A and B are shown apart, each in its own frame.
Chain A
Amino acid sequence: MLDIKNYSISKKLTWMNMLVSGVALLLACAGFCAYDLYSFRASLISSVSIQAQIIGDNTVSALLFNDPNSAEKTLSALDANRHVIYAQIYTRDGQPFAGYWRERAGETLSLPVIPSGQTQIHWFKNGHLGLARSIVFQGKPTGAVYILSDLGAMNDRLKSYAVITLLVFLASLVVALLISRISQRVISEPVTQLAQTVRIVSNEKNYSIRAGISPNRDEVSTLIESVNEMLEQIQQRDGALRRAQQELEQRVRERTIQLAVANKELDLRNREVERGTKLKSKFLASMSHELRTPLNAIVGFSDLLAEGTPGQLNDKQRRFVNHIKQGSAHLLQLINDILDLSKIEAGQLELRSEEFLVTDALPEVLSTIHPLALAKNIQVKQKVESKSLVKADRVRFKQILYNLLSNAVKFTPKAGRIAIECVDHRDFVRVSVTDSGIGIRLEDQKVIFDEFRQVEGTTDGTHEGTGLGLAITKRLVEQQGGQISVESELGKGSRFSFTLPAADSTSKVQPPAEPAKAPVLATSGRLTPLVLIVDDENSSRELLAGYLEPEYRVAMAESGFEALKKAHQLRPDAITLDVLMPGSSGFETLAALRKDPETTNIPIIILSIVDQKQVGFALGAADYLIKPVRRPALLEAIRKHVPSPADDDSSILLVDDDPKALELLEEALRSAGYETQGVRSGTRALEVLSNKVVGALLLDLLMPGMDGFEVIRHVRQDALLKDLPILVMTGKNLSNEEMTLLGHETQALLQKDGSWQEQLIVELRRVIGGRNLAKSAGQT
């Protein structure tokens, strides 16, 4: 009810004072009342006692002379005291002698015993005071008087006393209230004022207000002074803060103006730079095209001459042609490198972000390197332990690896060794190329990645190069977020290592390369059969893959379990199965594959050291070869079971506006066993395609009139031609968008730089299969 806790201090103080004075008053009043009651009782007793004595004295003669009337007359004097309700005189022997009743005659009470030695006794009972007193006359007991008085007097007294007490109590409280109201101000007023001041300060955030100083010297005044001091400090800090803020604002304004000026300048310069860049990139584009096109002709035709395609040359001619060939190849490489470098320098190198497995990209590089290594009888080993996807531009990754490997081949003496290692290193994939070459001196190691620097002593002609390879490699690695380093010991060999960021570990489990490739496979899948190689030995798998590629696409599994999974996933056209494998053996895998209705029709060729043909055939193997297997035997076995989808009538349509290039291509392809038809414009190509079924389209991009992109669009819109394999071959620097478009719409992309011929053949075989080659090879 009384929520005293939340009262204001002033109220609390008032209440406290009231409580204290109330309690004190109450106690005092109670004490006075009690004392008064006690003393009043005593006086009442003594008054009744006196009356009894007077009556006794006045009734002695009546008693002695046996005159009750006289005694009654005496008793009637008690009428004057309205509180006496009954009185009785007793004779000496205790017999009632004369009585008095205030109201009407009632019962006569017998005399209570008065102990000897006492003349009177009294008692309070039932709101009455009873008093008995013996009457003594001249030392002789003569009788006794008994008076019964009601306590009306006392009650009256009490009542009036209570009323007075109450009045005094209330009056005192009122006075106490007034006094405490006034006196509490001494404490509460400064506090209230302080609270109000603080509230105003905090509401208005006005720290210049001060609390009024109390004239008293007590804790409250100390508090007020402290608060004032605090406010003073806050005000000072506030001021300082505001000044600092103003300064800051001023500074910001100045800076903004400076910045705006600088921005304007920058904008101007940017525009200049932009214009410069545009010019530069235009120049680069035209340079790459204009320089490469004639060089391609030189390189290509000198190749053909050297191979003796147009007719046998004599030794001298052949030697000269080889000089031309080597010189122009070097020149082409140099041009390519310079163009790359300038693109990097100009910041125009557009890198795509792809995710792929090193194991997928590696064979493509090795296929180019192997012939070079083979020529010097250099053994190339690979050890791929990385299971992570690399996040990089796949083409550039191959370029990096090719640069390092070709360097290694270049600087490794005959019958040396080159090792490729690939490991996961935290969030990176680390690839290193180790050779047993001549090594690099320590001081040279520092400059080896600089432009146009070749290690001294290596420019003796035997190790010719542009001196740009490593510089480009370094830029390419670094631009993709990796690092490149070299360790080397002179005379013993070198190790070049580079790292590239790995893709998120979430996608680490299985390469999404296959799903990514899936649309491409869907259009060309029927053209290139897929073989699943199941073998627990890596080397064995690689060997088999080398046998089968590029006529077949290859997938690998290193255990029976993985084989079942991949067979389900990829639906290969054939499976080669090793028998002796840890875990589930080849036979178990074979049985499991046969049992599954989805894989039961896939032909399975067992390749094993053990000769258990009967078991194998009983379990449903399509063929059984004993290791070591030779390539022709393997290919023949697979061809037996996998029908080649290649069209016998297929020929390759070549489209290029440059007649020299066209001729070169025709020569190269024919020598590789393909039938070709060349046209010099996109329009013409579409005419041919509408009249004739071809196996593939080899397309140049930069052509007058209808360019390559338009041709691709037309082809892909045609329902009959939408599955036609398209290979693009260009000297153009492609933008990322163009790359993406080509990646979607075409099956291969070749840059007209240097060794495109071999790659062209490889890609053609991949795209349209080796059937034509086999046939052509058979014919020649």
Chain B
Amino acid sequence: MSYVRGTRFLSCIPQDRRTWRGLGRHAWLVAVAITVAWGLLAVPVLPAQNPKPTEFQVKAAYLYNFGRFIEWPANLMPAKTGSFTICVLGEDPFGPALDATLAGEMIGNQKVVARRISGPPDSGDCRILFISSTEASRLNKIIESLDKTGVLTVSDIPLFSQRGGMIQFVLEGNRIRFEVNLTATHRAGLTLSSELLKVATTIRRDRD
């Protein structure tokens, strides 16, 4: 019975058969093993094929991941809320995507939460601040006000990194990538993992 079911099952999953083709005469044993494993783990291990993520879904995930590769100065660490806050300044381009992405995620032992703020003074417990493109005109002021506050500034405003912003999203083909202004991050006392730098398109170092 189980053989029959297993065989039928395997026939429904052509890629598996391809993978194990070389097993030859042991295919049966392997097939049975896989069938059992499949039965137990199929759902969590092989996630459902999501539709292609939207630009801001990707950017939301990047925001979260930046948090995982960057170390903040130790004196900043004890936040009042006890959570890792990602703030959005200006008009929120993410919609529900940011909250959905961050839901249930942790960085270190801190819960990750999103907050929308209207101005830099509200950024007291923000670790990462996404500056919406709507704030382009006030960018210099914002950056200035956040100097040495230990907040990672991220934006998709063009020339953001050249204007003193820390990480700027850029579009390369259809892929979303980012530039890093290492001078800015240093000034903020942040330590970026070499892993993160490895995948950055451009790493800027201002003479100062």
List chain A positions with a Cβ less than 8 A from chain B.
58, 60-62, 64-67, 70, 92-94, 109-110, 112-116, 125-126, 137-138
| B65 with A125: CB separation less than 8 A | no
| B22 with A126: CB separation less than 8 A | yes
Asked if B199 is at the interface (CB within 8 A of a chain A CB), the reply is yes
| B198 with A61: CB separation less than 8 A | yes
Residues of B within 8 Å of A, CB-based: how many?
Answer: 34
- The answer for the CA separation of A64 and B66 in the assembled complex, in Å, is 9
Known: A116-B40, A116-B44, A138-B68. A61 touches B195 (CB 8 A): yes
| A65 with B41: CB separation less than 8 A | no
Interface residues as binary, B95-118 with A (CB distance below 8 Å gives 1, 0 otherwise) = 000000000000100000000000
Asked if B84 is at the interface (CB within 8 A of a chain A CB), the reply is no
| B193 with A61: CB separation less than 8 A | yes
| A93 with B199: CB separation less than 8 A | no
| A65 with B40: CB separation less than 8 A | no
Asked if B38 is at the interface (CB within 8 A of a chain A CB), the reply is yes
Residues of B within 8 A of A126 (CB): 22
| B18 with A110: CB separation less than 8 A | yes
Give the dominant DSSP class at B's interface. helix
Asked if B23 is at the interface (CB within 8 A of a chain A CB), the reply is yes
| B45 with A65: CB separation less than 8 A | no
Known: A113-B41, A115-B37, A116-B41. A61 touches B23 (CB 8 A): no
Residues of B within 8 A of A94 (CB): 45-47
Provide a sorted-by-A list of 11 A–B residue pairs whose CB atoms are within 8 angstroms.
A62-B198, A62-B199, A64-B68, A65-B62, A65-B196, A66-B58, A94-B46, A110-B15, A115-B40, A126-B22, A138-B107
- The answer for the CA separation of A65 and B172 in the assembled complex, in Å, is 13
| B199 with A67: CB separation less than 8 A | yes
Give the dominant DSSP class at A's interface. loop
Residues of A within 8 A of B62 (CB): 65
Known: A93-B47, A113-B45, A116-B45. A61 touches B19 (CB 8 A): no
Residues of A within 8 A of B44 (CB): 116
Asked if B177 is at the interface (CB within 8 A of a chain A CB), the reply is yes
Residues of A within 8 A of B58 (CB): 66
Further contacts, 9 of them, CB under 8 A, given A60-B195, A64-B61, A66-B176 = A58-B195, A62-B198, A64-B65, A70-B198, A109-B19, A112-B20, A113-B45, A125-B23, A138-B107
**Identity of the chain A residue whose Cβ is nearest the Cβ of B62 in the assembled complex:** A65
Minimum CB–CB distance from A188 to chain B (whole Å) comes to: 56
Minimum CB–CB distance from B169 to chain A (whole Å) comes to: 11
Minimum CB–CB distance from B21 to chain A (whole Å) comes to: 10
| B34 with A113: CB separation less than 8 A | yes
- The answer for the CA separation of A76 and B38 in the assembled complex, in Å, is 33
Known: A93-B46, A126-B22. A113 touches B37 (CB 8 A): yes
Minimum CB–CB distance from A92 to chain B (whole Å) comes to: 7
Asked if B69 is at the interface (CB within 8 A of a chain A CB), the reply is yes
Residues of B within 8 A of A66 (CB): 58, 175-176
- The answer for the CA separation of A62 and B65 in the assembled complex, in Å, is 11
**Identity of the chain B residue whose Cβ is nearest the Cβ of A66 in the assembled complex:** B175
Asked if B55 is at the interface (CB within 8 A of a chain A CB), the reply is no
Of residues 169 through 194 on chain B, the ones whose CB sits less than 8 Å from some CB of chain A are 175-178, 193
- The answer for the CA separation of A93 and B107 in the assembled complex, in Å, is 21
- The answer for the CA separation of A167 and B63 in the assembled complex, in Å, is 64
Residues of A within 8 A of B37 (CB): 113, 115
Minimum CB–CB distance from B51 to chain A (whole Å) comes to: 13
Residues of B within 8 A of A113 (CB): 34, 37-38, 41, 45
